[in-house]
Amino acid sequence: MYRVLIVDDEPLIVNSLYQLLREAANLELEIYRAYNVYEALDWMKQIRIDVVISDIRMPGMSGIELHKQIIQSWPRCKVIFLTGYNDFDYARHAIRTGGVIDYVLKNEDDPIILAAVEKALAELDKLEDGAEYVLHAKKKLQLAIPALQKNTLFDLMRDPSPSLKDMQNRLTAAEIPLFPEEDVFLVVGRVDVWREELSELDRTLLVYACQNIAEEYLASTVVQVSVVFESYKFIWFMQPKDLLTGTGLDEEQKKRTWEHMKTRVYGIMEAVQQTCKQLLKLPVSFVMGSRPYGWDNLGAPYYYLKALLGHGSNNGHELLIQDSDKFGLHSEQGRRFHLSESQHNKKQLELLEQYLVSGQKDHFNKLYNDMMNPDGLHGYRFQLELFYAVSLNLISYAIRVGLFDELFTKMDLGKTTQYDVHESWADAVSYLAKVAEYVLDKHEPVPEEQSQRLINSIHQYIQTHLNGDLSLTRLSTIVHHSPTYLSRLYKRMTGTMLSDYITEERMKKAQKHLTETSMKIQEIATQVGYEAAPQFNRLFKKMFKMTPQEYRDHFHE
């Protein structure tokens, strides 16, 4: 919505133009009035003005002088001059100075004045489109290098090049300041908890801020590059600065250099952790590798550090693990844990499948929670095997009862079949539980009376929270059901979609505001749950065949 300021020392002209623009149904404007140039200057100090309609000759300061003041305060503001017959040459000269979009006679017909305003708004739209394009291009440029670095490093971890020269070319092209002939030390990190009020943009900015803090602390000790992956996890690839700048170091000196770097990095990451908590209010955890690895052997420690970080973050506190070997990667070597050899676990899996097939939801959930309790598991590899055993049971059953296609249009097949895409063991357990819930809910009958009470509860919540979050996910948490189940139940009980009911209720409230209050259209849109007025306008017009302003005008007529 654009803001228009009308300036003239003749109140009759100001008020008549004000009324004309208010009644223009096709224009979404905030309109302000000034009866002299000084009032106009006061308005421009308080708020952004997009279009000024000004008399070209006024006491105290001419329209031309006012125009200069306007350009200094709001360079993108467009000016329309009101002139008399004798002022045409004066107005033409003003247009050549820039910023003046048009000039009209004071006694001109209303359509001419409206056309001048529409022309000014069209020019502003072009500027907005151009600014958005430039901003988008800058963002793409800023994102290009980090994305290239991430792809290059992960490609090298998965399939390192046999040629050092080729590796060096790829690192150079991605602006990665690491040496392919030297080992690499890994540190993996993650954000432990996000504040609920943060948007996705806020989270992205905080992640970059955390990276910048770490880069500043690490600069004197290591050569490094960090990338973000999988829902705001970090990974740092590091090499000692002394090793890369020194010449002729023997093996013993190299070993001491690596040990010194490892000790320093632990202290540095502890400082990064504290700084992120204090300055950014962001709790983060870090797990450091036990030693450096060659480029051809980075995959295994990377996956293990990621799994260890996810498993350890369940307590909600910041972690700082220095020697990862002590937490299971090598301590499990020599010990064998095979699910197939455990008769107890075999029986549990068979019983779990029976509960699934028979639709005994409560029994299934209790046994599932017992089996997946991390306290009873012996480490990462055991968790991995159990995850895939349960996943296979769910998928096999879905195929047998003809639910596979429907299930995986609703759920993510990758999350059901790949353990390492989950941030932690708790997340993996939670996701498989959602898959099981979908399958069980699909065949579990619910009494009609209980279902109707649930629908009534949903309706009551929607009617009292029209300006809040009414997503299916949010509503499902209110009634303690999965989003899919709630959507399906609502459609079965009412014959309509839940989203249609929400839209209808919002439009009813919008009608009430339009006819009983003088609230602006943008304010009404916000009150009924729409962040942007254009979206609200489109939905309102689709439902009532007229814009909100037309509806309000029609009602008052």
**Chain centroid to CA 8:** 46
The identity of residue 111, as a single letter, is P
Determine how β-strand 51-55 pairs with β-strand 320-321: unpaired
Task: Give the domain 448-554 fold.
Answer: Arc Repressor Mutant, subunit A (1.10.10)
Looking at every residue in the chain, the average pLDDT score rounds to 81
Across 108-112, 141-145, 475-479, 534-538, least confident range: 141-145
pLDDT at 313 over 90: no
pLDDT at 128 over 80: no
Average pLDDT over residues 358-386: 78
Task: Give the domain 176-322 fold.
Answer: Alpha-Beta Plaits (3.30.70)
pLDDT, greater one: 256 or 162: 256
Long-range contacts of 321-326 (CB under 8 A, 24+ apart): 321/286, 321/287, 321/288, 322/262, 322/266, 322/288, 323/288, 323/290, 324/287, 324/288, 324/289, 324/290, 325/290
pLDDT at 335 over 60: no
Is the pTM higher than 0.95? The answer reads no
Assign 244 a pLDDT band (cuts: 50, 70, 90). confident
Tell me the chain's radius of gyration from C-alpha atoms.
Answer: 33
Q: What is the DSSP letter of 9?
A: S
Span 181-209, pLDDT tens digits? 899 999 999 888 888 888 888 888 898 89
pLDDT, greater one: 403 or 101: 403
Across 251-265, 470-484, 491-505, least confident range: 470-484
How much is the pLDDT for 474? 85
Judge whether 540 and 547 are in contact, CB under 8 Å: yes
Q: Hey, where are the domains in the chain?
A: 2-128, 176-322, 332-442, 448-554
Architecture of domain 2-128: 3-Layer(aba) Sandwich (3.40)
How much is the pLDDT for 90? 60
Give the other-Cβ count within 10 Å of 98's Cβ.
10
Q: What is the DSSP letter of 4?
A: E
